[in-house]
Chain A
Amino acid sequence: MSRNGRLATVLGLFVVAVGLVVAAVAAFLTPGIPGGVVNFTSGSAGQPVSLVVQTVPSIGVGFGDHPTWVSYLVKTPSGKWVHSTTWQLPANTVVNMTILQYDSGSPLRNQQWGQVTGTLGNTMSLNGTATSAYNSNTGDGVGHTFTVPALGLDIPLVGIGGGSTNACSQAPCGTNFDHNTITFSFKTPGPGNYPWQCFVPCGLGYLFGNGGPMSTQGYMGGFLKVVA
């Protein structure tokens, strides 16, 4: 083989190898945000943003790789339930958030997360009742929390009754199933990416309940993407 022939062979093999590596990287290490970003900044400036979220015991088929995992769904401004945990919000704006909680509860690993903090008035409405602290060791327990550590925001999402016979098993859940409606308001800070997560060990079957959906972005945590 001539020198040019060898050069072409090596270059060709190199291109093939690079292609394989890029394919492997693309397959296993996808850049970007799972589920994409749901945009809530289209409203008029300064007006409160309405954000509706539901928690579901299992996300079901059609919403990603792990149909049996617990997750959040968010309602887009056009009224469609989508599986995304990164939400784009306008800065310095009041967000009126409604969480429809379809999951059953358990005691918290740390009861501190039973206290409502960081909302306007440090309170939330649980099915219409103002609540500022919920004892997860009694009653129905807490199913999940909606917590933004950087904002000091923490809302315990009280679970539905353990004996419920009308529990939703798979997303998206309709309001005809048993659920708790939790509403609260908070004000977004300046622009930035603020991680939020759940503090209930709901990754059942993993040590301390914090593996699986708790340790995979797009299930029990995501970002508030606050933009100017």
Chain B
Amino acid sequence: MAAENSKGEVNDLRRMTMIWVVLSVVADLLFWFLVGPHVPPGRMTETAVNNQRTFNVLLVIALPVLIGVWVYLGYAATMWSAKREGVAESVGGEGARTNRKVQVWWIALTSVIVIFLAGYGTFAVIAEHGSGGGEGPNPVWSPSGATQAETAALSGSSSWTPGHVLVVQVIGQQWKFTYRYPSFGGFESDKLVLPVNTEIAFNVTSLDVIHSFWAYQLSVKADANPQLNNVAYTETKHTGNFTVRCSELCGLWHGSMYNFGKVVSSTDFMNWASTTQSANAANTANLPPFAWTYVPDANGASGGWYPDGTVTPYSTVETYGSKTPAS
């Protein structure tokens, strides 16, 4: 009886393991080679490539976990069902209560997987300069040259030549993103055009509520907060079009707060930038000086909500157009 039991046990486990190994290997291979290269957000930028790879690595680890549990559940559901109506006989005896070996292995295995994933994620986010996520006003993982470019942009002495970091400011407002190019006289446009093979430093801020700048194919996502400069980096690798959407609910027109950007060659970018710079010159003169954040003063900073008119007695920040230091 006991021998038969243990034999049955081995058979069950061996059968499940075989099904699991075969399915997992097939699923992983199929995914990695057939689906993996097409996984969003694609390969337009360095961060997109890396974030796609991280996703694929995670899924290659996740698939065997999913398949393992499913195989087990499926096997249990079919092989271990009560064959007849009514209450089945009890099974397993007292030994069915617990099994120290299984518990230790389970806990050890899940811990190893989880700690590996956290380590891998940490490595990826540091190595890829924040992985395209908003790093706040004080980025700790900057690509080389970024700090100099940002300092130059703020002091108004910025110019851009191919191969250097391009600083682009993203301004969220209800309900549209606009973009300022401090290296080209600080003009503002509702179009986002970027040069290829260039490290881009997005400086994301908002004039009102919280938005989220999501350049989908670039794999960049950074919340646009009022009074805060949220910096995100990526390096463009291929030319093409990309979508920008707001991914933080910001009110009535949140759903239509999107536009399409372009990554173009450096020459085309220079042409577009200088053309737009001169075409917009009249309006650029009316814009406030380039700054990381802006406090609009139309109807008072709060738009008439606080009874403060145009002056805000208890405001901690200065009014429209003032520069706040890059903290």
Contact = CB atoms under 8 A, between A and B. Distances in A.
B304 A110 contact: no
A210 B209 CA distance: 10
A205 B304 contact: yes
Given A109-B207, A110-B207, A197-B175, A207 B283 contact: no
Interface in B288-302: 288, 294, 296-299, 302
In the A-B complex, the 3 residue pairs with the smallest Cβ-Cβ separation, listed nearest first, are: A209-B303, A109-B296, A115-B283
B251 interface: yes
Interface in B265-281: 279-280
A152 interface: yes
**Best-surrounded residue of B296, B297, B304, B320 (most CB of chain A within 10 A):** B304
Contacts of B207: 109-110, 208
Contact of A208 (B253, B256, B305, B320): B305
Nearest to A205: B304
Contacts of A137: 286
A122 B288 CA distance: 22
Given A132-B282, A201-B303, A204-B303, A109 B251 contact: no
Given A107-B298, A114-B283, 15 more contacts: A106-B299, A110-B294, A149-B190, A199-B176, A203-B303, A204-B299, A205-B304, A205-B305, A206-B304, A207-B303, A207-B305, A209-B299, A209-B304, A210-B209, A215-B252
Contacts of B259: 149-150
A74 B209 CA distance: 30
A117 interface: yes
Contacts of B279: 122
Contact of A199 (B173, B280, B297, B320): B173
B188 interface: yes
A201 B299 CA distance: 8
B232 interface: no
B304 A114 contact: no
Interface in A94-122: 106-112, 114-115, 117, 122
A160 B253 CA distance: 28
12 contacts: A112-B189, A112-B287, A149-B190, A149-B257, A195-B256, A200-B298, A201-B296, A207-B302, A209-B298, A209-B299, A210-B251, A221-B252
A112 B174 contact: no
A136 B303 contact: no
A117 B173 CA distance: 18
Interface residues of B, number: 36
Q: Chain A interface secondary structure, helix, strand, loop or mixed?
A: mixed
A133 B283 contact: yes
B322 interface: no
B190 A110 contact: no
B56 interface: no
Nearest to A118: B190
Nearest to B307: A205
**Best-surrounded residue of A110, A137, A154 (most CB of chain B within 10 A):** A110
Contacts of A214: 174, 252
A53 B3 CA distance: 90
Contact of B208 (A106, A135, A210): A210
Contacts of B256: 149-150, 195
Interface string A121-151: 0100000000011011100000000010110
B282 A206 contact: no
Given A149-B256, A215-B251, A208 B208 contact: yes
Interface of B: 171, 173-176, 178, 188-191, 207-209, 251-253, 256-257, 259, 279-280, 282-283, 286-288, 294, 296-299, 302-305, 320
A163 to B, nearest CB: 17
Contacts of B303: 201, 203-204, 206-210
A19 B79 CA distance: 49
A195 to B, nearest CB: 4
Interface of A: 106-112, 114-115, 117, 122, 132-133, 135-137, 147, 149-150, 152, 154, 195, 197, 199-201, 203-210, 214-217, 221
B124 to A, nearest CB: 35
Contacts of A112: 178, 188-190, 283, 287
Given A110-B207, A201-B298, A217-B252, A206 B305 contact: yes
A135 B209 contact: no
A150 B255 CA distance: 12
B173 to A, nearest CB: 6
A183 to B, nearest CB: 20
A115 B279 CA distance: 10
Nearest to B281: A133
Contacts of A111: 283, 286-288
A213 B193 CA distance: 33
B129 to A, nearest CB: 29
A122 B283 CA distance: 13
A114 to B, nearest CB: 6
A135 B286 contact: yes
Contacts of B178: 110, 112
A92 B20 CA distance: 58
